[in-house]
Amino acid sequence: MKKLLIFVFAAAFVAACVLPAMAQEKEVNLYGSVRMETFYRSTSKEAADRGGGLDKDQTQFEIGDSSRFGANFKMGNLSANVELRPQGGGEGGSSMNFRQWWGQVDFTGWQLRVGQQSVIDGMFPPGCCIDEGSVQSSFGGWSGRVRQPGVAAFIPIGQGTFKFGLFSTGSGAGASGADATAGSPVFGYDDDTDEVIPQIQASFDMKFGPAAVKFVAGYNTYDEVYWDSVGSPTTDVTYSIDAWIIGGQAEANFGPLTVMWQIHWAQNAAAYRQSTSGGALVLPAYDVTGNGIEDVSEWGSFGRFIYKMSDMVTWEVGGGYLSQTRDGTPSLDKIDDDSMFLYLNAQIFLAKTFRFTPEIGYFDYRSRDVGPTTTIEQGDQLYWGAYWRIDF
C-alpha cells in the first residue's frame, strides 16, 4: 500500500508539471528556399595561380549552399529553429548538414539562445550573389563565421539591443610556415592546437527612424604546438595566436534609395574566422629569432547602394576593399596585400516569392608585396550570370 501511495504521489507530481505545458498552444511553421547560381567566370592566369582553384574559364552551375528547409517552433516563452541545407554545390549538393539548430528562452526583458546559431559579430548581409555573398568577407566586408555552436544573450537597452555570446573558438587557419629564416621549425609536423577559452562576441545595434547603426567586437585566442626538429635536443615550440575584430555599419533610407556601409579593423582575421576563403588571406608567421608571432593587421570596407525602382525590380551596386599587412622580422617575412571587388545586379521578381537576379562583377586581386623588393601581380577575374531564388 505504501508503495502504491508513493507511485500515486509521483504520478500526480509529474502531471502537475506536464499538464500546464501541454495546455499551451504549440506553433510549428515550415519553410524553405531553393537557390541556384548560374555564372560564367573569366579568370586571368595570374589569378588562377593564386591558389584559388579556379581555371582560366569556368561555367558555374551549382545549388546554392544557402538553400534550406526548416521549421520554427514556439510554445509559451520557448522557441526553437531547426534548418537543413545542401552542402557542396554541384550535383544537388554533395552532402547535407544543419544550418540552424537552436533553442531559446524568453525571460522578462531578455532572451537566452543555445545551440547552432548565427554569430552575433556579423554585419549586414551582402547584396552580391556570386558565391552567395561569401566573397564579402575576403573583400572588405565582415561576416565572421556566419553560424557556430554557442550560447548568446539578447538584452534590449534603450533604443537598441545588446548581444553577447560565447562561441566555438576559431582555429585551424594557424600560422604560416613560410619563414625565410634559416632554422625555421618544421611546421605542420605533429602539430597540436590548445583551445582554453571560447570565442567572445558582442554587438550593439540601434534604429533611428529611417536610419540604423550597429557596432561589433570579438576576441579569440588559442595556442599552437609544433615539433621543432632543428637543433639538439629537439623541442616543442608553443605560441599563442590572439585575434580580435572591431567594426561598425550604418544604413539610411532615402525614399526608394537605401545606402549601407560598413568598416572593420582586425588582427589575425584568418585565425578568428577559421577561414582562408578567397585563397589569399595573409596568415600570421612564426618569428624564430624572437620566438613569437608576427601578427597580421587588417582593415576593410564594403558598401551597397540599393534603388527600388518598383515592386518588381530593385537595382544594386556595391563593392569593397581589403588591406592586410604583416610586418615580419626579418623583413623577408613582410607581406602587404590588398584587393578590390565591384558588382552590379538587378533583383527581378518573376512571382511573389520567385526572384531572378542577373549580376556582373569584377575582382581585382591587385599585387602582393613580399619582403622589401618582391612584388607579385595577382591578376583579376570578371564574371557574369544570374542567381535564382524561390522561397516557399
Return the pLDDT at 162. Answer: 97
pTM of the full predicted structure? 0.83
Q: What are phi and psi of 132, to 5 degrees?
A: 55, 35
Strand, helix or coil for residue 166:
strand
**Dist CA 89 CA 66 (whole Å):** 10
Return the pLDDT at 18. Answer: 42
Return the pLDDT at 289. Answer: 66
Return the pLDDT at 240. Answer: 83
Return the pLDDT at 96. Answer: 79
Domains of the chain: 26-391 (2.40.160.10)
Return the pLDDT at 279. Answer: 47
Per-block mean pLDDT, blocks of 10 residues, the chain (392 long): 41 43 77 95 76 70 91 96 80 72 95 96 85 82 85 95 92 49 40 82 94 95 71 66 93 96 92 60 73 86 96 96 84 83 96 96 87 81 96 96
Return the pLDDT at 373. Answer: 79
Q: Which of 147, 144, 47 is nearest to 378 (CA)?
A: 47
Query: What does each C-alpha distance from 303 to 147, 187, 258, 287, 316 come to in angstroms?
Result: 23, 38, 11, 36, 10
Q: What are phi and psi of 198, to 5 degrees?
A: -75, 170
